[in-house]
């Protein structure tokens, strides 16, 4: 191999690296926000991923074009309904000037007390379902949550010009088996009430189903329909 061949190989490797960085820029930015001084952050958030795949339904209901996403993660664009009852796309999560980590959730019980959310407006997240992880000794098992009777589910939220957060509350008894917090669920006919009223005592009586899914959802670059399929825990592979 002569010097010319070596130079060509180096050039090809350099071009490949630039292409790889460009194609994965969103994921690199995501990890940059999630990591400080090279140490992974230990997040205690619930509903750290969710799903929206109903392209035709979202278009017909809200006149908005979307692309199927079976692994929506923080820092990605999500669909919300704003205070004008219009569906728009907003980045999920905020990074306040005084804090270096991403905030993706807001507790319903303390939302009005937090300075961070003082100038936020109410909104509603549109989804087909969400993932939550059951933590046991040394293991985390992902579960997909959805409404078997309704194609879409709705979460209460808040937003500003920077991004948006899902509002959470204490889990009902059967969901607390997976996690102690849940999204503040809304029925479709409660959307306007959540957005327009100051105090909300909204009751959600629809059943949220859940089942275990593949650990593939743990990797944010995985994005296919089979992520939401039920998996046999006895055959679960990393």
The tokens for 130 are 């969400």
CATH superfamily of 44-235: SOS response associated peptidase-like (3.90.1680.10)
Per residue in 173-218, pLDDT (tens digit) is 999 999 999 999 999 999 999 999 876 678 899 999 999 999 999 9
pTM of the model: 0.80
pLDDT at 75 over 80: yes
3-class DSSP assignment, residue 33? helix
| Each residue's pLDDT tens digit, 128-173 | 999 999 998 888 999 999 999 999 999 999 999 999 999 999 999 9
pLDDT exceeds 80 at position 5: no
Q: Return the pLDDT at 17.
A: 53
> What are the structural domain ranges in the chain?
1-42, 44-235
CA atoms within 13 A on the CB side of 218: 13
Residue 96 has pLDDT above 90, yes or no: no
Taking only the tens place, the pLDDT of each residue in 37-70 is: 233 344 445 568 999 999 999 999 999 999 999 9
CA 64-208-214 angle, 5° bins: 85
d(Cα 97, Cα 183) in Å, to the nearest integer?
26
As a whole number of angstroms, the distance between CA 35 and CA 29 comes to: 10
13 vs 90: which has the higher pLDDT: 90
């Amino acid at each position: 191999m002569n010097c010319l061949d070596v130079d060509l190989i180096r050039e090809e490797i350099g071009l490949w690296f630039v292409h790889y960085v460009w194609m994965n820029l969103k994921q690199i930015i995501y990890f940059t926000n999630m990591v400080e001084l090279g140490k992974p952050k230990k997040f205690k958030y619930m509903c750290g991923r969710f799903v929206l795949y109903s392209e035709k339904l979202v278009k017909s209901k809200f006149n908005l074009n979307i692309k199927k996403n079976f692994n929506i993660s923080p820092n990605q664009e999500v669909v919300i309904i704003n205070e004008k009852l219009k569906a728009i796309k907003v980045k999920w999560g905020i990074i306040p000037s005084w804090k270096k980590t991403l905030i993706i959730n807001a507790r319903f019980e303390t939302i009005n007390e937090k300075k961070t959310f003082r100038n936020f407006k109410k909104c509603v997240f549109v989804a087909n379902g969400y993932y939550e992880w059951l933590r046991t000794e040394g293991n985390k098992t992902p579960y997909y949550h959805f409404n078997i009777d309704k194609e879409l589910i709705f979460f209460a939220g808040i937003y500003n010009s920077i991004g948006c957060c899902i509002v959470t509350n204490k889990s009902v008894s059967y969901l607390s088996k997976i996690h102690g917090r849940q999204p503040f669920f809304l029925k479709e006919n409660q959307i306007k009430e959540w957005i327009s009223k100051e105090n909300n005592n909204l009751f959600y009586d629809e059943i949220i189903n859940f089942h275990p899914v593949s650990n593939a959802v743990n990797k944010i670059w995985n994005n296919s329909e089979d992520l939401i399929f039920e998996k046999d825990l006895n055959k679960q592979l990393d």
